[in-house]
A and B are shown apart, each in its own frame.
Chain A
Amino acid sequence: MPAYHSVFLDEPNQQVIGNFALLPLRTRTRGPAQQLPQMTDTTELDIEPSHTSYDPLDEILSLFRANTFFRNFEVKGPADRVLIYGILFVSEALSKIRPGNSRRDAEKSVMNVALDTNFAIPGDAGFPLNQAFEAPKDRNEAEILRQYIMQMRQELAMRLLNRWWLSFQKRKFMGKQL
Chain B
Amino acid sequence: MAPQTPAVVMDNGTGYTKLGFAGNDSPSFVFPTAIATKGPSAGAAGGTGGSGSGRPAVANKPSFLTGGAGPTGHLSGKRGTEDLDFFIGDEALNASAGPGYGLHYPIRHGQVENWDQMERFWSNSIFKYLRVEPEDHYFLLTEPPLNPPENRENTAEIMFESFNCAGLYIAVQAVLALAASWTSSKVQDRSLTGTVIDSGEGVTHVIPVAEGYVIGSSIKSIPIAGRDITYFVQSLLRDRGEPDSSLKTAERIKEESCYVCPDIVKEFARFDKESDDRFKQYQVQQPGGRSVTVDVGYERFLAPEIFFNPEIYSSDFLTPLPNIVDTVIQTSPIDVRRGLYKNIVLSGGSTLYKDFGRRLQRDIRHLVDARIKASEARAGNAAKSGGLDVQVISHKRQRHGPWFGGSLLGQTPEFRSYCHTKAEYDEVGPSIVRRFALLGGPGST
Instruction: Show the binding face of A for B, using Cβ within 8 Å.
Output: 1-4, 45-46, 62-63, 65-66, 69-72, 99, 166-171
Contact = CB atoms under 8 A, between A and B. Distances in A.
A70 B268 contact: no
B236 interface: yes
A167 B265 CA distance: 16
Nearest to B322: A1
A126 B268 CA distance: 33
12 contacts: A1-B309, A1-B320, A3-B311, A66-B265, A66-B268, A69-B309, A70-B311, A166-B240, A167-B240, A167-B297, A167-B298, A171-B239
Contact of B268 (A3, A65, A71, A166): A65
Contacts of B240: 166-167
A52 B309 CA distance: 31
B313 to A, nearest CB: 8
Contacts of B272: 45
A69 B311 contact: yes
A72 B311 contact: yes
B130 interface: no
Nearest to A169: B239
Indicate the member of B240, B297, B312 with the most A CB atoms within 10 Å. B312
B386 interface: no
Given A1-B308, A167-B240, A171-B239, A45 B264 contact: no
Interface of B: 236, 239-241, 264-265, 268-269, 272-273, 297-298, 302, 308-309, 311-312, 315, 318, 320, 363
A63 B312 contact: no
Contacts of B312: 69-70
Nearest to A68: B312
A178 to B, nearest CB: 20
Nearest to A163: B272
Indicate the member of A66, A71, A170, A171 with the most B CB atoms within 10 Å. A66
B265 A62 contact: yes
A62 B269 contact: yes
Contacts of A72: 311, 318
A167 B238 CA distance: 9
Given A99-B241, A167-B236, A167-B239, A71 B311 contact: yes
A34 to B, nearest CB: 26
A170 B239 contact: yes
Given A65-B265, A69-B311, A167-B239, 7 more contacts: A1-B320, A45-B272, A70-B309, A70-B311, A71-B311, A72-B318, A171-B239
A44 to B, nearest CB: 10
B265 A63 contact: yes
Interface of A: prevailing SS = loop
A65 B301 CA distance: 13
B294 to A, nearest CB: 13
A115 to B, nearest CB: 26
Nearest to A72: B311
Contacts of A99: 241
Given A45-B272, A62-B268, A66-B264, A71 B239 contact: no
Nearest to B237: A167
A167 B295 CA distance: 12
B11 to A, nearest CB: 34
B239 A45 contact: no
A3 B265 CA distance: 10
B261 to A, nearest CB: 11
Contact of B315 (A3, A45, A66, A71): A71
A170 B236 CA distance: 10
A63 B263 CA distance: 11
Nearest to B313: A69
A70 B269 CA distance: 18
A176 to B, nearest CB: 15
Pairs of residues from A and B, 8 with the lowest C-beta to C-beta distance, nearest first = A69-B312, A167-B240, A66-B264, A66-B265, A65-B268, A167-B239, A45-B272, A170-B239
A143 B269 CA distance: 36
Contact of B273 (A46, A66, A167, A169): A46
A171 B311 CA distance: 13
A170 B273 CA distance: 24
B315 A4 contact: no
Contacts of B269: 45, 62
